[in-house]
Structure 1
Amino acid sequence: MGLRGTTIRLLVAGGVGFSLLLTTAAPTAADDITDAQARLKVINKLKGDLQDNLQRAQAQEIALLQQLQETRDTINQTIDKITATERRIAELERQIAALQAKIADEQMELQKTKEESSLRPPTSRAS
């Protein structure tokens, strides 16, 4: 068995080694695929969770923007009411000033009338 036997043994050993390599490589590749699929599944779940969170955040943003607009509308209505009330108060103050001036004129007229009537001699009344 000399050289020929050694060669055959080496070929057999190499074939067994190659065969062993193929059989272990196939499960390794399958494991890699399984791991990659599992990672992809996790990534897709996280992506779905992030999309859900984004949608909730967008809905909250819309709700907050609506509340903000309602608050602005309420503020503007309040400002309008205040402005209208201030105008009514200013008009009433003008009316009060005009009435006070009229009262002062009437009081002066009354005073004059009293003074004039006190200067006249009393008239006798016939009974």
Structure 2
Amino acid sequence: MRRLLVLAAATPLLLSGTASAATPSSPHRAPAPDRAFMLAVADDNQDLLTGRYAVLQCDPPGGTHRKGTKSCEALEKARGNPAAIARDRNRSCTTEYKPVKAFAVGTWDGENIIFEHTYGNFCAMLAATGPLFDF
């Protein structure tokens, strides 16, 4: 739990560096809404700090997420809430129990967002969250 809190505390610093590097400053343009997430996925027996990570920057999409555009579109429809992403009813998953943890922390239009959930397996996570944790 302590490591999870450290990750959550460090995320604004990581995201602020990503946002400033990805967004050019212009005196003639209003700043884009703050829409960025630090994402992590780990097997249930793994600590999140030893799992896989991605940075997702939206508006315009960027960061290290390989499906940034689709992830930002899914979050836009869900108003920045990973738990509200529409479930993919066309994805067929096995009932194999191999738990995977998904964690997202960031901001969406100035609102702080923290999301954490454990799914029965990787496929179930993708069915529930679309491209967000597929990095």
Q: Between Structure 1 and Structure 2, which shows a larger proportion of strand residues?
A: 2
Q: TM-score, normalised by structure 2?
A: 0.17
Q: Between Structure 1 and Structure 2, which shows a larger proportion of helix residues?
A: 1
Q: TM-score, normalised by structure 1?
A: 0.18
